[in-house]
């Protein structure tokens, strides 16, 4: 099994978090998004948009949510997805909304012009403030148990200081709990570790 990914892509970071939670004994190859190797280009027809690629024998996967669920099923202990169908569907919807709502705004902050980035930064900050009670409701995000939802959310929270967004207090407490996990620390690339030089700030 081999994972090809960018060392700075937050979607890749989601996968790497799951990878280390599962203690996968396999290779992670960091590659340059602007110059992916030929074998990745051959394996992944969407490499220009979605670089993260998992190869497991004859199986090739290149969507981060699919890869995360595959790893959870391929390595069932510890389980990171609820077993009950309704709870599993709800967790999938949460991950979809985190990607669709919050990661979309992060993408605009990182890759769009300053005017659009400023609007996205303001919206993301307001969304996190509005969601602050959700971070405090349970030990993990809307759950008593650590799950794929937390793996999906943590890389976004880790990047907030580098884009000038302060965390609400409840979200800060939750984030520190997740960042302290051994698997999260192992999931960080060198470039991502440098983001920690900007300490997480709290908003009022």
Residue 80 CB partners (closer than 8 Å, separation 6+): 18, 21, 22, 72, 146, 147, 148, 151
pLDDT digits (tens, 9 = 90+) for 140-164: 999 999 999 999 999 999 999 999 9
Domain with CATH 1.20.1050.10 in the chain: 85-181
Q: Does residue 201 have a pLDDT over 80?
A: no
Cα–Cα dist 50/57, whole Å: 20
**SS3 breakdown of the chain: % helix, strand, coil, rounded to 5?**
60, 10, 30
- Options 3.40.50.1860, 2.40.40.20, 3.40.30.10, 3.30.1330.60; CATH for 2-74 is 3.40.30.10
Chain segment 187-197, per-residue pLDDT in tens:
999 999 998 75
Would you say domain 85-181 falls under CATH 1.10.3720.10? no
- Determine which helix (DSSP H) or strand (DSSP E) holds 39, and give its type and residue range: helix 38-43
Residue matched to tokens 């009670």: 133
Between the CA of residue 31 and those of 49, 105, 122, 140, 181, what are the distances in Å?
A: 14, 24, 32, 32, 25
Indicate if the pLDDT at residue 53 is higher than 70.
yes
pTM of the full predicted structure? Answer: 0.92
- Binning pLDDT at 50, 70 and 90, where does residue 204 land? very low
* pLDDT tens for each residue of 1-50: 999 999 999 999 999 999 999 999 999 999 998 899 998 999 999 888 88
Instruction: Reply yes or no on whether the pLDDT at 200 is more than 90.
Output: no
Total number of residues shown for the chain: 204
């Amino acid at each position: 099994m081999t994972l090809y990914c960018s060392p700075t892509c937050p979607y890749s970071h989601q996968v790497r978090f799951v990878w280390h939670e599962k203690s996968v004994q396999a290779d992670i190859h960091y590659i340059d998004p602007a110059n992916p190797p030929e074998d990745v280009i051959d394996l992944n027809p969407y490499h220009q948009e979605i670089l993260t690629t998992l190869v497991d024998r004859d199986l090739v996967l290149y969507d981060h949510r699919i890869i995360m669920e595959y790893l959870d099923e391929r390595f069932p202990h510890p389980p990171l997805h609820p077993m009950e169908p309704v709870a599993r569907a709800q967790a999938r919807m949460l991950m979809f909304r985190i990607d669709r709502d919050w990661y979309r705004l992060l993408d605009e902050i990182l890759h769009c012009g300053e005017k659009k980035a400023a609007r996205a930064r303001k919206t993301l900050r307001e969304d996190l403030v509005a969601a602050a009670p959700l971070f405090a409701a349970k030990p993990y995000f809307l759950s008593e148990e650590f799950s794929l939802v937390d793996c999906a959310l943590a890389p976004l929270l880790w990047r907030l200081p580098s884009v000038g967004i302060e965390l609400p207090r409840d979200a800060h407490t939750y984030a520190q709990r997740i960042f302290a996990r051994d698997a999260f620390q192992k999931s960080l690339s060198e470039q991502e570790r440098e983001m920690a030089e900007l300490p997480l700030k709290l908003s009022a």
